[in-house]
C-alpha cells in the first residue's frame, strides 16, 4: 500500500487527514454539535441510504463533513456551515 494511505475499514488515514464514516447516528450528531453545523439534520437521509456522510479530521481536530449522493460530492460543510 501507499505509505501515505492505509485503509482500515471505512477510515482512510494520511499524515494530515482522517476521513471516516460515522458508526451511528449518535456519532454524526456529536460531530455536528462539535462543528456547529447542520449536518446532524442529515441523519434520516443517511439512515435511508440516500446519502453518505463523511467526517474529516485535520491534525486531530474536526475539520469538515462531506455529503455524498449518487457517488458525487453534494455538499461540504466546515465549522458553522462554512463552505
- pLDDT tens, the chain, 83 aa long: 333 343 344 455 566 788 888 888 888 888 888 889 888 888 888 888 888 888 888 888 888 888 888 888 899 888 888 87
Percent of residues in the chain assigned helix, strand, coil, to nearest 5: 30, 40, 35
Closest CA to 56 of 11, 24, 26, 3: 11
Q: How far apart are CA 42 and CA 51, in angstroms?
A: 8
pTM of this structure: 0.74
Of the chain, the end-to-end C-alpha distance in Å amounts to: 32
Amino acid at each position: 500500500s501507499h505509505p501515505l494511505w492505509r485503509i482500515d475499514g471505512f477510515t482512510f488515514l494520511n499524515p494530515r487527514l482522517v476521513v471516516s464514516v460515522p458508526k451511528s447516528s449518535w456519532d454524526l450528531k456529536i460531530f455536528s454539535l462539535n462543528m456547529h453545523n447542520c449536518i446532524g439534520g442529515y441523519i434520516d437521509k443517511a439512515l435511508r441510504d440516500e446519502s453518505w456522510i463523511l467526517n474529516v479530521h485535520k491534525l486531530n481536530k474536526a475539520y469538515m463533513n462531506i455529503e455524498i449522493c449518487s457517488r458525487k460530492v453534494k455538499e461540504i460543510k466546515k465549522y458553522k456551515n462554512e463552505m
